[in-house]
Amino acid sequence: MLKKWDNLPEYMRTDVVRPYYDKLKRKRLILALKRIFDFTAAIFLLMLLAPVIVGVSIAVAADLKGTIIFRQERVTQYGRKFKILKFRTMIANAEQLGSQITVSEDARITRTGKVLRKYRLDELPQLINIILGDMSFCGTRPEVPRFVYAYTPEMMATLLIPAGLTSEASIQYKDEDRLLREAEDIDEIYIRKILPEKMKYNLQSIKEFSFRREIGIMVRTIMAVFR
């Protein structure tokens, strides 16, 4: 649900965020229906894909030591932090061995992890995040706190709604890891060049927010993955 303006975090109550807030405020009913859809669809898919989830769990366990599920702190609606869930695709202590951003051909990615990432199967556990209300099917992909700290005042508008499993930016930048592969400082290039471009799509999605548009993004995401 959309909070009252005065209840938003102070850093979000700015003149550049207000137009986005007012636009979403006029669509409170659609936002409520969106949450009902997210919850219902996530439970249905979790049951439908249970055999796949079990199979992936076995494959991950056989390919590396440690936990099957990877948890990482991310930021969602109103700047709230939560633990995003993914199937582990990298070796243990991967974050201590390099950037939090992963590029293609990253030596930290396991053999099974490459397949899971290619078809985004590593993100299946995020159905649980959706059920818990931390995420939605569509919305700005949740960033780690250090990247959120680099947001401009306008980018903060993307925190008006829950983080998403997919988005228009996700489709347009589905090969983001390849774009960063040759960068000397991956984090710096991401913050200065890629993040601002992705945010243009994310902010535009709020301006054009509609349930029909989000269903279209979900369908196009599936097509993009298997293309």
Q: What percent of the chain has pLDDT over 90?
A: 69
Give residue-wise pLDDT tens across range 129-147: 999 999 999 999 999 999 9
* Cβ atoms within 10 Å of 223's Cβ, excluding its own: 10
0.85 exceeded by pTM: yes
Q: Whole-angstrom Cα distance, residue 61 to residue 67?
A: 8
The pLDDT confidence band at residue 185, using thresholds 50, 70 and 90, is confident
In sequence order, the 6+-apart residues with CB closer than 8 A to the CB of 136 are 34, 35, 38, 130, 161, 162, 163, 164, 165
- Average pLDDT (22-50) is 96
* Cα 45 to the center of its chain, rounded Å: 18
Cβ atoms of 125 and 87 within 8 Å: the answer is: yes
- Average pLDDT (95-117) is 71
Range of the domain at 194: 5-226
Cβ atoms of 92 and 110 within 8 Å: the answer is: no
Give residue-wise pLDDT tens across range 67-96: 899 999 999 999 999 999 999 988 766 565
Give residue-wise pLDDT tens across range 152-181: 999 999 999 999 999 999 999 877 776 676
What's the structural domain count of the chain? 1
For residue 104, what pLDDT is reported?
Answer: 58
> Is the pLDDT confidence value at 98 over 70?
no
